[in-house]
Amino acid sequence: MSEGFGIQSLDIDLDSSVKSITRTAAMCLSGSIANGIVIAQNPNPRVRIFNNRIEFGKCNNPDLIGISGNVYPCFYVEYGNLVYRYNTAWKCSFFGKQLDYKGMFAPSVPDDYTIFNLIYPRFQ
């Protein structure tokens, strides 16, 4: 997250479609959230985790302003906001609303320890 700009505050919360996140999912999501923050270049991101996507709020990246649609694998600019869309490696249980990673290679360590510690065990 030290890509030449500073993060003044980081607000991560869950949408009502997600009640909890497994430890494995938090490990994997930590890298996606860190990458999304770097891509968006928003100094005060409001990260919201849904059952099928992560929204990062306004995309202030000068290279992406005015662009709409896919910008990186799984990242999209929609109405000026950066969105990360999950692929089929993710599942959110219908009744428990628990987001879990079901992909082929589950991580054994977090992609980004700082973000992981903000997510887990807070949303466990």
Strand 69-72 and strand 75-78: pairing? antiparallel
**Residue indicated by tokens 């997250």:** 1
Residue 6 has pLDDT above 80, yes or no: no
Give the tokens for residue 66: 């005015």
The reported pLDDT for the residue numbered 8 is: 53
pLDDT class of 9 with cuts at 50, 70, 90: low
Is residue 81 within 8 Å of 59, Cβ to Cβ? yes
Phi/psi region, residue 69 (left: phi>0; alpha: psi -120 to 50; beta: rest), is: left
Residue 7 has pLDDT above 80, yes or no: no
Number of domains in the chain: 1
**Residue indicated by tokens 């990246």:** 61
**pLDDT, mean of residues 79-97:** 91
**Whole-angstrom Cα distance, residue 73 to residue 101?**
18
80 found inside a domain:
yes
Is residue 7 within 8 Å of 87, Cβ to Cβ? no
**pLDDT, mean of residues 78-101:** 91
- What is the chain's mean pLDDT, rounded? 88
24 found inside a domain:
yes
123 found inside a domain:
no
Is residue 52 within 8 Å of 29, Cβ to Cβ? no
The reported pLDDT for the residue numbered 94 is: 83
**pLDDT, mean of residues 30-40:** 93
62 found inside a domain:
yes
**Whole-angstrom Cα distance, residue 32 to residue 30?**
6
In which domain, by residue range, is 57 found?
A: 11-103
20 found inside a domain:
yes
